[in-house]
């Protein structure tokens, strides 16, 4: 039995279905992220786990207990909000100790636990400060400590890093993951940032239009997207028009140039127009070594993005991107040059509902 | 350049004259009880008067009860409306504004009519009359109290703070007592101050309910003893300013504590 079970959960607001038929099992100590665009239902699902929303149908079970109709204060879930939600009238120590005080823990125990979690978030000396005396990143760490102090069964984080600047976001997310692994706490994390979801999670739940699109490890989600939405939403994806030439052998034509896919072609016949998807980073210049697929293309544009260089290329009417790692000895073609690019059979995906 | 810096100073000076000249005149008059002398005799007469002390103490106590009752009525109501019934906000605002539309004289006659005959004849006892006076004042203070609390609630993310407290195990009473009330301190003080000023000077309800309040005493004094009456005006103003000072003192250090969210 999973530690957190969501079975046939749905939520309807008026005429709008916010979440539909949501089924998910989360194991004890697992870190699961809900990833999707705004309005896809990820926060609503999290709020149903927390008890802030009542599911229209379905059940929420935590550690074997059906908590579907339990109020939030009876669920022992720690919640971290995007807006920090620290109590402005309390200092850091009082904020962290709030839940323990509610639970009527002895003063000594509260003090000890507060010191422990302050040490975990590396803010030992900040106990007497007020929220307004802290930076956004510090406030969010305190919010995390406050949620951890009550030793919740499930830690819920609702876009906790969205209000922070890029650098702090990266360092804090590493910190969150390290703390989660150290404490072995079951965690559900909501984000619309794919990098965050992929870098933090054991598993990612990709959501769209109130439904689950795909559940998988970050590796599976990125490399083997099941649906066009997942492929498009996670990472950058090229869409290239092609024609099926040989269904049996997976042969396609892009701008009359032959390419082969490792994917088994189903539901199409020779001559069918399809759209294939290739990740930019899976394409390289052919001079680096030839793979089964080689295309002649014209270089349209070159953009430096720091660690990578993004090259826009054209093959007939198809305009698409390729990424190559930047290094000081990189020899790039000039804009307007015609060069060969190459990619593996496995890189060519004909999406389930994409053609 | 010179003209542009001089002009605001002229405006400030004119403003100063507008606000303080009448006050200076009142102060000057209050000091002339004895002919051709500057004296504090009028102040001495007022401050040593037993009626002043009794009526002021009575109104002061009534003001505290009004503030307490108003706070306990308005804060949970406004909080609940913010949290659960935001669509009712215009209706609640309208209701709280009714006391501007219904004059105090109508209110007090309504009170007398309802509560001076069975089955609710509580006006006959002193305690009952005091209770009704406080209730009348609560009704009159609704616009100020509600607006203050409403503004305070708008300045904080009520929903998220509530949910954060709930997720930590807090029930409604704890949330109100430990999270909402403390963060509304300035808003409540502001509403309390306006209520205090209103109750101290209130005349109509106190007069018709025959209560020994400060408002009727001031009015009575104004008709019979002009020097003492102006001295009383200055004393009232001083007390008002002292209240503002206390409010600012109690509210010190809270600037910036309310989070700006979402």
List, for residues B59-76, the tens digit of each pLDDT value: 999 999 999 999 999 999
Size of interface A-B (CB pairs under 8 A): 85
Distance from CA of B179 to the nearest CA of A (A): 7
Residue in chain A nearest B260 by alpha carbon? A83
CB A34 within 8 A of CB A189: yes
B87's CB contacts (< 8 A; 6+ apart) are none
The three-class DSSP label of residue A102 is helix
Tokens of A200: 């933090």
Q: Which of B170, B174, B258 sits opposite A88 (nearest CB)?
A: B258
Instruction: Say whether B167 and A83 touch across the interface (CB within 8 A).
Output: no
Cβ of B188: how many Cβ atoms within 10 Å? 22
Q: Is A50 on the interface with B (CB under 8 A)?
A: yes
Distance from CA of A71 to the nearest CA of B (A): 8
Q: Tell me the β-bridge partners of B150.
A: none
The three-class DSSP label of residue A26 is strand
The three-class DSSP label of residue A194 is helix
Mean pLDDT, consecutive 10-residue stretches, chain A (355 aa), reads: 93 94 95 94 96 96 94 93 92 95 93 92 91 92 92 94 86 90 94 92 95 95 86 88 92 92 89 90 84 91 91 93 88 91 91 47
Chain A residue numbers touching B182 (CB-CB < 8 A):
89
Q: Which of A79, A86, A87 sits opposite B167 (nearest CB)?
A: A79
B50-83 vs B185-201: helix crossing angle, rounded to 10: 140
CA B104 to each of CA A102, B98, B107, B123, B211: distance values in angstroms, whole numbers, following the listed order: 45, 11, 5, 17, 15
- What value does the CA radius of gyration of chain B take, rounded to a whole number of Å? 22
Q: Tell me the β-bridge partners of A274.
A: A242
**How far is residue A82's CA from residue B260's CA, in Å, rounded to a whole number?**
12
CA A246 to each of CA A243, A261, A268, A271, A355: distance values in angstroms, whole numbers, following the listed order: 9, 11, 10, 8, 16
Instruction: Say whether B168 and A102 touch across the interface (CB within 8 A).
Output: yes
Chain B residue numbers touching A77 (CB-CB < 8 A):
167
Instruction: Say whether A88 and B257 touch across the interface (CB within 8 A).
Output: yes
Please give the full DSSP string across B92-154, using - where no structure is assigned: HHHHHHHHHHS-HHHHHHHHHHHHTSTTS-GGGSHHHHHHHHHHHHHHHHHHHHHHHHHHHHH
Helical spans, DSSP H, in A103-252 = 107-120, 136-149, 166-183, 194-200, 218-223, 228-233
Sheet with A186-191: list strands edge to edge: A77-80, A154-158, A186-191, A31-35, A203-208, A211-216
Instruction: Say whether B182 and A89 touch across the interface (CB within 8 A).
Output: yes
Q: Which of A73, A103, A130 sits opposite B166 (nearest CB)?
A: A73
Residue in chain B nearest A163 by alpha carbon? B262
Exposed / middle / buried, residue A184 (Cβ in 10 Å: 0-12, 13-18, 19+): exposed
Chain A residue numbers touching B163 (CB-CB < 8 A):
50, 52, 72, 79, 81, 85
pLDDT tens digits along B187-218: 898 888 889 888 988 999 999 988 999 999 98
**How far is residue A209's CA from residue A19's CA, in Å, rounded to a whole number?**
8
B73's CB contacts (< 8 A; 6+ apart) are B138
Q: Which of B160, B171, B174 sits opposite A85 (nearest CB)?
A: B160
Q: Is A150 on the interface with B (CB under 8 A)?
A: yes
pLDDT at A207: 95
Q: Is A138 on the interface with B (CB under 8 A)?
A: no
**How far is residue B226's CA from residue B232's CA, in Å, rounded to a whole number?**
10
pLDDT at B251: 63
- The yes-or-no verdict on residue B258 having pLDDT over 70 is no
Q: Which of B169, B182, B257 sits opposite A103 (nearest CB)?
A: B169
**How far is residue B238's CA from residue B233's CA, in Å, rounded to a whole number?**
9
DSSP state of A79: E
CA A67 to each of CA A31, A53, A70, A186, B1: distance values in angstroms, whole numbers, following the listed order: 20, 12, 5, 16, 72
The per-residue pLDDT of chain B, averaged, comes to 87
Chain A residue numbers touching B261 (CB-CB < 8 A):
83-85
Instruction: Say whether A146 and B262 touch across the interface (CB within 8 A).
Output: no
What's the pLDDT band for B3 if we cut at 50, 70, 90?
low
pLDDT at A226: 82
pLDDT at A330: 81
The three-class DSSP label of residue A36 is coil
Helical spans, DSSP H, in A163-308 = 166-183, 194-200, 218-223, 228-233
Residues of B near A (Cβ–Cβ under 8 Å) read 156-157, 160-161, 163-171, 174, 178-179, 182-183, 185, 256-259, 261-262
The three-class DSSP label of residue A355 is coil
Tokens of A53: 């929303």
Q: Which of A74, A84, A87 sits opposite B179 (nearest CB)?
A: A87
What's the pLDDT band for B149 if we cut at 50, 70, 90?
very high
The three-class DSSP label of residue A124 is helix
Instruction: Say whether A132 and B166 touch across the interface (CB within 8 A).
Output: no
Residue in chain A nearest B258 by alpha carbon? A88
**How far is residue A201's CA from residue A157's CA, in Å, rounded to a whole number?**
12
Please, what are the domains in chain B?
44-250 (1.10.3720.10)
A15's CB contacts (< 8 A; 6+ apart) are none
- The yes-or-no verdict on residue B261 having pLDDT over 50 is no
Residues of A (69-88) whose Cβ lies below 8 Å from B: 71-79, 81-88
Left if phi > 0, otherwise alpha if psi is -120 to 50, otherwise beta: which for A274? beta
Residue in chain A nearest B181 by alpha carbon? A89
């Amino acid at each position: 039995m999973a530690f957190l079970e969501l079975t046939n959960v749905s939520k309807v607001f008026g005429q709008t279905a916010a979440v539909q038929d949501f089924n998910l099992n989360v194991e004890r100590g697992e870190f699961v992220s809900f990833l999707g665009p705004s309005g896809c239902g990820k926060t609503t699902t999290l709020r149903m786990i927390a008890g802030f929303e009542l599911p229209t149908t379905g059940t929420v079970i935590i550690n074997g207990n059906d908590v579907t109709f339990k109020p939030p204060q009876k669920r022992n879930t720690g919640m971290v909000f995007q807006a920090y939600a620290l109590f402005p009238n309390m200092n850091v120590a009082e904020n962290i100790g709030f839940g323990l005080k509610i639970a009527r823990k002895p003063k000594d125990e509260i003090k000890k636990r507060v010191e422990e979690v302050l040490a975990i978030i590396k803010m030992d000396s900040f106990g007497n400060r007020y929220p307004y005396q802290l930076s956004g990143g510090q406030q969010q760490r305190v919010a995390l400590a406050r949620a951890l102090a009550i030793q919740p069964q499930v830690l819920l984080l609702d876009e906790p890093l969205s209000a922070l600047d890029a650098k702090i976001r990266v360092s804090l997310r590493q910190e969150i993951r390290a703390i989660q692994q150290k404490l072995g706490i079951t965690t559900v994390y909501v984000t619309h940032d794919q990098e965050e979801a992929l870098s933090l999670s054991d598993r990612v739940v990709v959501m769209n239009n109130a439904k689950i699109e795909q559940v998988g490890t970050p590796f599976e989600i990125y490399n083997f997207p099941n649906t066009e939405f997942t492929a498009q939403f996670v990472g950058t994806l090229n869409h290239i028009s092609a024609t099926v030439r040989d269904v049996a052998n997976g042969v396609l034509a892009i701008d009359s140039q032959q390419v082969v896919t490792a994917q088994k072609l189903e539901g199409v016949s020779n001559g069918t127009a399809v759209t294939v998807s290739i990740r930019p980073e899976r394409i390289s210049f052919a001079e680096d070594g030839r793979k089964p697929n080689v295309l002649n293309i014209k270089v349209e544009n070159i953009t430096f993005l720091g660690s990578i260089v993004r090259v826009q290329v054209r093959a007939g009417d198809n305009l698409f991107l390729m990424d190559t790692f930047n290094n000081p000895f990189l020899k790039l073609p000039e804009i307007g040059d015609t060069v060969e690019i190459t990619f593996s059979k496995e890189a060519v995906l004909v999406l389930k509902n994409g053609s | 350049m010179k003209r542009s810096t001089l002009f605001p100073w002229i405006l400030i000076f004119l403003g100063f004259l507008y606000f303080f000249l009448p006050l200076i005149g009142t102060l000057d008059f209050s000091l002339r009880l004895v002919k051709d002398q500057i004296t504090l005799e009028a102040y001495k007469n007022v401050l040593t008067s037993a009626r002043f002390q009794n009526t002021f103490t009575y109104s002061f106590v009534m003001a505290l009860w009004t503030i307490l009752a108003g706070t306990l009525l308005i804060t949970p109501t406004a909080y609940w409306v913010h949290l659960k019934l935001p669509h009712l906000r215009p209706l609640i605002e309208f209701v709280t504004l009714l006391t501007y539309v219904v004059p105090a004289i109508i209110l007090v006659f309504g009170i007398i009519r309802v509560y001076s005959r069975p089955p609710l004849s509580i006006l006959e006892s002193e305690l009952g009359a005091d209770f009704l006076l406080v209730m009348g004042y609560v009704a009159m203070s609704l616009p100020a109290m509600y607006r203050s609390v409403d503004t305070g609630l708008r300045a904080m993310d009520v929903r998220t703070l509530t949910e954060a407290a709930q997720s930590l195990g807090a029930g409604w009473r704890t949330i109100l007592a430990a999270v909402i009330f403390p963060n509304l301190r300035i808003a409540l003080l502001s509403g309390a101050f306006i209520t205090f000023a209103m109750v101290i000077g209130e005349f109509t309800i106190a007069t018709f309910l025959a209560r020994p309040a400060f408002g009727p005493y001031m009015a009575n004094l104004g008709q019979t003893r002009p020097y003492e009456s102006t001295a009383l005006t200055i004393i009232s103003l001083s007390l008002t300013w002292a209240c503002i000072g206390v409010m600012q003192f109690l509210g010190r250090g809270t600037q910036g504590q309310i989070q700006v969210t979402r």
